[in-house]
Amino acid sequence: MTADQLAAALKRTSSVLLDFDGPVCSVFSTFAPAAVAHELRARLSLDAAPETQEPFDLLSYVARHEPTRLVSAEAELAQLEEMAVLRAAPTPDADAVLRRFNEFSRPVVIVSNNSDTAVRAYLKLHSLGSLVAAVSSRVDPDPNLLKPHPHLLRRAAAALGCEVADCLMIGDSATDIEAAQAAGAVAVGYANKAGKRERFERLRADAIIEAMSDLLDVRMPM
């Protein structure tokens, strides 16, 4: 994908939906997902659950097999995510990208499968809250409403008072692209690891970036 394709994607939209884990920071950079999953399993005594290195897998397990405990499972995971974001490594140039979108009057909503409390804690810690118009992240414990489901994107557009088609979704996972396409948003893949560019190309993302600084270099439509 070229800078022209990124510029065209920006031109088609007026608002930005930005994934959190990846584009803004590396949530589990010092508290690895496997460690979070292990701690969550222990806190919930989920001895019968399949072994996994992904905390969201355990949330899905509880939703399917022990739904009466879903609210408490969500609360425990949110607490662990809050611990993680306090030590999360910021993504290079993410703050500059937020400032640039703000300078060009392009509102940004953080759209994340991570808990609302964790996202807001990170934004407060790094003084980024004023650069974000809203947060659309995990408040409902139902994991079926998380990306790739379009629910969070639709909620973000509603917070902005615009149509989802007017929004540019930037994310570093296949679920971000799938959610954007399901909702009708313009999809930009952030290929921050090997193999992601090819995956995003197969998914027919509207544009692909390899660094957040790509958003600083492209000409911003007026």
- Does the pLDDT of residue 71 top 90, yes or no? yes
- Residues 47, 119, single domain; the answer is no
- Residues 64, 98, single domain; the answer is no
Domain annotation covers residue 206: yes
Lowest mean pLDDT among 40-44, 59-63, 217-221: 217-221
Domain annotation covers residue 49: yes
For residue 136, the domain's CATH number is 3.40.50.1000
- Residues 128, 76, single domain; the answer is no
Lowest mean pLDDT among 47-51, 90-94, 111-115, 120-124: 47-51
What is the tens place of the pLDDT at every residue in 180-211?
A: 999 999 999 999 999 999 999 999 999 999 99
Angle, CA 208 vertex, CA 154 and CA 118 arms, to 5°? 50
- Residues 94, 81, single domain; the answer is no
**What is the pLDDT, as a whole number, of residue 4?**
87
- Residues 203, 118, single domain; the answer is yes
Closest CA relative to residue 45, chosen from 61, 34, 32: 61
Contact 214, 93 (CB under 8 A): no
pLDDT-above-90 percentage for the chain: 95
Q: Where are the alpha helices (DSSP H) in 66-194?
A: 70-85, 94-103, 116-125, 151-160, 174-183
Sort 142 into a burial class: Cβ within 10 Å, 0-12 / 13-18 / 19+.
middle
- Residues 127, 58, single domain; the answer is no
Q: Which domain holds residue 61?
A: 33-85
**What is the pLDDT, as a whole number, of residue 127?**
98
| Cis-peptide into 23, omega within 30 deg | no
Domain annotation covers residue 222: no
At 144, phi and psi to the nearest 5? Answer: -70, -15
User: What total of structural domains would you count in the chain?
Assistant: 2
Q: What is the DSSP string of 82-117?
A: HHHHTTPEEPTTHHHHHHHHHHTT--EEEEEEEEHH
- Residues 52, 72, single domain; the answer is yes
